[in-house]
Chains A and B, each alone.
Chain A
Amino acid sequence: MTAQYTRASDIRVDLLEIARLIEPGKAVLDVGCGDGSLLAYLVREKQVDGRGIELSPEGVNSSIAKGLSVIQGNAEEDIAFYPDGCFDYVILSQTLQAMRRPDRMLEQLLRVGRKAIVSFPNFGHWKVRLNLALRGMMPVNKTLDYPWYSTPNIHFCTIRDFVNLCEQQNIHLEKSMAINAKGSRMSFDNLYLANLMATQGMYVITRN
């Protein structure tokens, strides 16, 4: 993942893009919240009622020590124990590709939340395509910093794949955003160009 920080907020630029989508005072669940940076920012700057699920012990310890209501667990198992519609927003940032069943995860996100914000690395990016086409190797770079045999990212997709899945699952794309390598939003909303140029896709999704 890109390590671009803004001085004002101390959180990654792409996380700041997510934060911009959330109105103050909302109930927010961050699935795979890492060390709790985004959640802490939302609690501090937007006074949200924030909760988190995180798998890594380091992330959980650091989140709780920040004063966040974060539980250690496997998102795919633990999300089932939240009641329907108890969050305004559920965030799944850079985690979809690590799920065993991304399709079921999307269903769960929209069961517990009215809206979900999903971001994921785009395997349709031209560098990834070029890498595979010319070098014949799976991409390993700053954003995808694992060799194929030990990566926790088991279900990569392209922006187009994601859009297709949402269509199949009758999920409405309320907002589509293309994110560049710096973590900032790109201006075009053409699907073909976004799928070629964006390193991340970011979507606000709701139930149709």
Chain B
Amino acid sequence: MIMLFFMDQETRAAASDIAEEDGFAEVVTLGRGDPLRLDSGAQISLFDVAYKSWGKLNEDKSNVVLICHALTGDQYVRGINPITGKRGWWENMVGPGRPVDTDLYYVICINVLGSCAGTAGPASLNPETGEAYGIDFPGITIGDMVRAQAMLLDHLKIDQIFSVIGGSMGGMQALQWAVDYPDRVNTVIAIATTWRHSAQNIAFHEVGRQAVMADVNWMRGHYLAQGDRPHAGLAVARMAAHITYMSESGLTSRFGRNLQNRDKVAFGFDADFQIESYLHHQGISFVDRFDANSYLYITRAMDYYDLALAHDGVLAEAFRGTETRFCILSFTSDWLYPTSESRYITRALNAVGARVSFADIEMDKGHDSFLLDCPEMFGIIQGFLNSEADATGLKFERCGP
């Protein structure tokens, strides 16, 4: 109590939030006797899946919301992330009284296959060799990630998902869920995402991968055994990618041509401009929390993503017969997965008579807008979820105050 007394208002509020919002975290080993069959044809017979959940599962397990995270995200949507010590990445969206209300919904987020926050990936130990997989980890797809998530939900005896929600790569998974498990998914909210990776998307990812692999410390993917890490390469990959998550107007308004701790340019090659310093910081802080091989595997999975591939290139066919209700959201300043991609998804859904809502939200902060405070997005998502809950007669067992 004395401690609390000396804390300022903000810290105190944060401390009480942590106590209430700790959630439940678990790592489950799956695949015993029922291996994960990958799109590549390979199988993984024993693998860990890490997840975190908030809120209370209702009697008939009908209030499940699955949050899918993005490329370098993790299951720590809310509360303190034990890897970074920072707060969760979607606290403004998910929580008590938030658009995805943890007083009403049982919210779960699962670390994706190939990642490095507890779920099996290239940095995990290969049970057959007792050493880290490195690049012996099998190649994966977005479909594989979703299949692994479905296995975890099976393990948790959860059949029906009220809503699958995700931005960016999370949105890809949400759409993949609707395509692969149409009977299990009531609604999908796919934000700032696409239905297939474009040549430009693949190109940016390849720059990142080449940066990692060009680092001598990458050691053909087996750096973990050597005790070193390709930090420089991964940082460059992150810096390049980070530019694609922002917008020119966002960068201009935040940094302009401002110089970093100096009055005039130094005619050297350390950071003259604030934007350089900012990018360096993004790169350096990333390498401590993310495995370089995971970055290769997951960017590859995204590049392989193409929902129309199995349907002769006709996206609408992937959704034919769907009963799922869709909410597709894009941002006006997102040039990584521009509005046109979301509109294309919307039109494909309309072509097969699916129930779809689509809004292009005015934001000038680029792709990462989905992570920011955006009242329009919050209002739409809250209204969409609540109206569907009303329409389907979802029964809440209110928890919390």
Contacts and interface: CB of A to CB of B under 8 A. Distances in A.
B355 A69 contact: yes
B275 interface: no
B332 to A, nearest CB: 9
Band of interface residues on B: 20 to 34
Contact of B386 (A61, A67, A69, A71): A67
Interface in A49-80: 51, 57, 60-61, 63-73, 78
Contacts of A67: 383-384, 386-388, 390-391
Decide if the interface of chain A is mainly helix, strand, loop or mixed: mixed
Contacts of A130: none
Contact of A70 (B353, B357, B376): B357
B387 A66 contact: yes
B360 A65 contact: no
Decide if the interface of chain B is mainly helix, strand, loop or mixed: helix
Contacts of B380: 61, 64-65
Contacts of A82: 350-351
Given A61-B376, A81-B347, A81-B350, A66 B356 contact: no
B351 A60 contact: no
A193 interface: no
A65 B358 contact: no
A83 interface: yes
A86 interface: yes
B350 A64 contact: no
A125 B119 CA distance: 70
Interface in B360-401: 360-362, 376, 379-380, 382-384, 386-388, 390-391
Contacts of B383: 64-67
A201 to B, nearest CB: 29
Interface of B: 325, 327, 343, 346-347, 350-351, 353, 355-362, 376, 379-380, 382-384, 386-388, 390-391
6 contacts: A65-B384, A66-B383, A67-B384, A68-B357, A68-B387, A83-B351
Given A57-B359, A71-B357, A82-B350, 9 more contacts: A61-B376, A61-B380, A64-B327, A67-B386, A67-B391, A68-B357, A71-B358, A81-B350, A83-B351
